[in-house]
C-alpha cells in the first residue's frame, strides 16, 4: 500500500516537473533585419525547428530537409559540423516563438524554446541647427529603426534622452554654449551618432529676458521719464513765478522812491521844507 502511494507521488512530481519545463520562459534572441539568427541548441542526428505550430526544418539520421513554407523558403539552414539550425535573411515578420525539438537521444526528446525579435538597425541621425530663434536650437532626427533611443550629449555629458520609440522621431534641445554636441541613436542591435560643433553665434553671456520682462522694463523707463519731466516743469514754473514777483516789487519800490524825491525837491525850491517820508515809504526807498 505504501509502495503504491509512493509511486503515485513520484508520478505526480514528474508530471509537475515536465509541466514546469514546458511552461518555462523562452530564451530571448535578437536579430538584425537582413542578417541571420543561429539557434544555440545543436541537433546532431535528429530533430526539428518549429515556428509556432509549424515545422520548417527537420534533421533525420544526420540529413537536413527544409520543409515547404512560403515565408521561410530557402532561408532555413543546418550546419552539419556544429549541429546548429539557423534562419538567414531575417525579415520583420520572422519575430515570434520558435522551438528546437532534439531527439538525438532516441529514448527521450528535448525541447528548447526561443523568442526571436527582429530589429531594424538605426540610420545615422541627422542634426539641424536653427539660428532664427533665441537660444539656438538643435534638432536631431532619426529616419529608421525599431525601438530607438535618442540622446543628446554635450562634451560627453548626457543632456536629454527619449524612451524607446519607433523611427522617425525628433529630439530638440536648446543651446546656450558654443561647444561640441553629439546626437546618439541606438537600439538593441545598432548604434549611430552625429556630432556638431557650434560657433559664437549660439553662445550667450547671460540668460535672455523674456517678453514680459522687456515689457515691464519699458513701462518703468517710460513712467520714470514722465515723472522727471513733470517735476522739472513744476520746479521751473515756481522758480520763474518767484523771480517775476521779486522783479515787480523792486520796480514798484524804485518808482515810489523817485516820486517822493521829486516832491521834496519841489518843496525845497519854493522855500519849504521837504516832506518827511513816512516809515513805510522810507523803508520802501531803502
280 within a domain of the structure (yes/no): no
Helices (H), the chain: 2-22, 211-269, 279-285
> Which of 202, 217, 233 is the C-terminal boundary of a domain?
202
Lowest mean pLDDT among 112-116, 185-189, 278-282: 278-282
pLDDT at 228 over 70: yes
> Which of 150, 183, 202 is the C-terminal boundary of a domain?
202
158 within a domain of the structure (yes/no): yes
**Rounded distance between C-alpha atoms, residue 227 and residue 233, angstroms:** 10
Residue 223 or 268, more confident: 223
Lowest mean pLDDT among 31-35, 102-106, 108-112, 259-263: 259-263
**Rounded distance between C-alpha atoms, residue 41 and residue 57, angstroms:** 14
Can you tell me which residue has the cell 515565408? Answer: 71
Can you tell me which residue has the cell 532626427? Answer: 141
pLDDT at 256 over 60: no
Shared domain check, 151 and 65: no
143 within a domain of the structure (yes/no): yes
Shared domain check, 114 and 132: no
219 within a domain of the structure (yes/no): no
Q: Are 159 and 173 in contact (CB under 8 A)?
A: yes
Can you tell me which residue has the cell 552539419? Answer: 80
224 within a domain of the structure (yes/no): no
The pLDDT of residue 282 = 46
pLDDT at 213 over 90: no
Shared domain check, 30 and 109: yes
**Domain count of the chain?**
2
How high is the mean pLDDT of the chain? 79
pLDDT at 240 over 90: no
The pLDDT of residue 137 = 86
pLDDT at 272 over 70: no
Shared domain check, 148 and 189: yes
Lowest mean pLDDT among 40-54, 64-78, 247-261, 272-286: 272-286
State pLDDT tens for residues 18-71. Answer: 445 455 689 999 999 999 999 999 999 999 999 999 999 999 999 999 999 999
Mean pLDDT along residues 250-258: 59
Mean pLDDT along residues 120-135: 85
> Which of 65, 91, 119 is the C-terminal boundary of a domain?
119
Q: Binning pLDDT at 50, 70 and 90, where does residue 283 land? A: very low
The pLDDT of residue 210 = 53
Q: Binning pLDDT at 50, 70 and 90, where does residue 284 land? A: very low
State pLDDT tens for residues 128-164. Answer: 888 776 778 888 999 888 889 999 999 889 988 888 7
Mean pLDDT along residues 218-238: 75
148 within a domain of the structure (yes/no): yes
165 within a domain of the structure (yes/no): yes
Shared domain check, 114 and 29: yes
Q: Are 87 and 36 in contact (CB under 8 A)?
A: yes
53 within a domain of the structure (yes/no): yes
Query: 191: domain range?
Result: 126-202
Distance of CA 196 to the CA centre of its chain: 17
Residue 186 or 174, more confident: 186
Residue 2 or 151, more confident: 151
Lowest mean pLDDT among 65-74, 87-96, 241-250: 241-250
Give, in order, the Cα–Cα distances in Å from 6 to each of 1, 2, 10, 11, 19.
9, 6, 6, 9, 20
What's the CATH code of the domain at 188? Answer: 2.60.40.10
Of 123, 122, 119, 148, nearest to 33 (Cα)? 119
The pLDDT of residue 53 = 92
Amino acid at each position: 500500500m505504501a509502495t503504491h502511494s509512493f509511486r503515485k507521488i513520484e508520478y505526480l512530481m514528474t508530471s509537475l516537473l515536465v509541466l514546469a519545463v514546458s511552461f518555462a520562459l523562452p530564451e530571448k534572441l535578437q536579430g538584425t533585419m537582413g542578417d541571420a539568427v543561429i539557434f544555440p541548441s545543436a541537433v546532431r542526428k535528429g530533430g526539428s525547428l518549429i515556428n509556432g505550430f509549424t515545422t520548417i526544418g527537420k534533421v533525420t539520421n544526420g540529413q537536413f530537409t527544409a520543409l515547404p513554407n512560403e515565408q521561410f523558403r530557402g532561408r532555413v539552414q543546418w550546419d552539419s559540423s556544429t549541429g546548429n539550425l539557423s534562419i538567414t535573411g531575417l525579415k520583420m515578420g520572422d519575430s515570434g516563438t520558435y522551438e528546437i525539438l532534439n531527439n538525438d537521444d532516441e529514448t527521450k526528446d528535448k525541447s528548447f524554446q526561443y523568442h526571436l525579435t527582429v530589429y531594424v538597425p538605426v540610420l545615422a541621425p541627422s542634426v539641424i541647427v536653427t539660428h532664427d530663434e533665441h537660444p539656438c536650437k538643435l534638432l536631431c532626427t532619426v529616419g529608421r529603426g525599431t525601438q530607438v533611443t535618442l540622446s543628446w550629449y554635450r562634451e560627453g555629458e548626457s543632456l536629454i534622452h527619449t524612451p524607446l520609440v519607433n523611427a522617425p522621431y525628433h529630439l530638440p534641445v536648446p543651446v546656450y554654449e558654443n561647444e561640441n554636441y553629439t546626437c546618439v541613436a541606438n537600439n538593441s542591435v545598432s548604434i549611430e551618432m552625429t556630432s556638431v560643433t557650434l560657433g559664437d553665434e549660439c553662445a550667450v553671456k547671460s540668460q535672455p529676458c523674456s517678453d514680459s520682462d522687456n515689457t515691464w522694463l519699458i513701462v518703468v523707463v517710460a513712467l520714470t521719464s514722465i515723472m522727471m519731466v513733470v517735476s522739472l516743469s513744476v520746479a521751473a514754473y515756481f522758480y520763474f513765478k518767484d523771480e517775476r514777483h521779486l522783479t515787480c516789487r523792486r520796480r514798484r519800490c524804485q518808482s515810489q522812491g523817485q516820486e517822493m524825491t521829486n516832491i521834496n525837491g519841489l518843496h525845497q525850491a519854493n522855500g519849504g521844507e521837504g516832506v518827511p517820508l513816512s516809515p513805510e515809504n522810507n523803508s520802501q526807498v531803502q
